[in-house]
Amino acid sequence: MAEPLPWCHLDGAILPLRDARISPLDRGFLFADAVYEVVPVYGGRPFRFAEHLARLERSLGEIGIVNPLDAEGWRGMAGTLIGRNGGGDQYLYLQVSRGAEYGRNHAPPAGLRPTVFAFCATLPARDPDSLARGLRCVTAPDIRWARCDIKTVALLANVMLRGMAERAGAHETILLRDGMLTESSSSAVHVVIDGVLVAPPETPAILPGTTRAVVEELADAAGITRATRPISERELRGAEEIWLSAAVRGLAAVTELDGRPVGSGRPGPLWQRLHADFAALIERLAATPW
């Protein structure tokens, strides 16, 4: 990931990121009692900002934190921070913890003031050669907790799974639970089976993906047949194409899985089509007000 940009937001103030401090008793630090969002920004314009805010609101509601800002408050803060960091292409990280108390109690006391933190980083450029080669992935059992539909900062299992990929010389780990595909350590997974674009149903084992939704909208607009249904390990391994989608990654083709080629071993024709449509959508939206 790219180096962070110099300015951040912390509890209503814009300040240098290197000067930002929170209490060591903050529940996000002690318990991972916090949720977050990552929003890509193109040409200074947050992409699908309303959808990211809706998911943040849902995550907060699921763990019982009252949203500390309304939609206009989030919008104003995001616009100010993006502008202070120079606009252009970047990504915006938003995090809300339950706040700090004087002590450490598993059951959260009432009346805590949430901690609101945000920072930006340069959006990594998509290397044409890397896009043409695709990604190498490995598979592993899904060892994450039972509520992956909440975008919580409790990402230790994801960190371990991504580390597994790094040690194997791969880019990402694709996860299987009880013989069925869930997602990867940091992305949604799409699979092409018999010419049909298939994704697993959104359950508590899967994070509702904002970028996944964009891919599905583009597939519908392009007339590509798609389905939402469980995907077995056998189907995953025999797929014609496998894709990953995520806010910062965008849409990427997987060309190797556990050392074996996916399809032809090159990004497939449906990915080529949807990737071009995705890039065109970003280019159109980057020039419009948000």
Three-state secondary-structure class, residue 130: helix
Two tokens, residue 284: 């159109």
Burial 125-135 (b: 16+ CB within 10 A, else e): eeeeeebeebb
pLDDT of residue 2: 77
pLDDT of residue 229: 98
176, β-bridge pairs? 141, 181
Block residue for tokens 């980083």: 121
Rounded alpha-carbon distances, angstroms, from residue 278 to 34, 47, 131, 146, 218? 31, 12, 14, 31, 7
| Tens-digit pLDDT string for the chain (290 aa) | 678 999 999 999 999 999 999 999 999 999 999 999 999 999 999 999 999 999 999 999 999 999 999 999 999 999 999 999 999 999 999 999 999 999 999 999 999 999 999 999 999 887 787 888 999 999 999 999 999 999 999 999 999 999 999 999 999 999 999 999 999 999 999 999 999 999 999 999 999 999 999 999 999 999 999 999 999 999 999 999 999 999 999 999 999 999 999 999 999 999 999 999 999 999 998 878 88
Catalytic residue of the set 52, 151, 162, 275: 151
pLDDT of residue 246: 97
Two tokens, residue 95: 């995090």
Block residue for tokens 């960091």: 85
pLDDT of residue 290: 87
Assess contact for 159 and 124: CB atoms under 8 A: no
pLDDT of residue 217: 98
Residue 151 appears among annotated catalytic residues: yes
3-state SS of 232-270? EHHHHHCCCEEEEEECCCEEEEEEEECCEECCCCCCCHH
Block residue for tokens 């798609």: 226
Residues 6+ apart with CB under 8 A from 34: 27, 28, 95, 96, 97, 98, 115, 152, 153
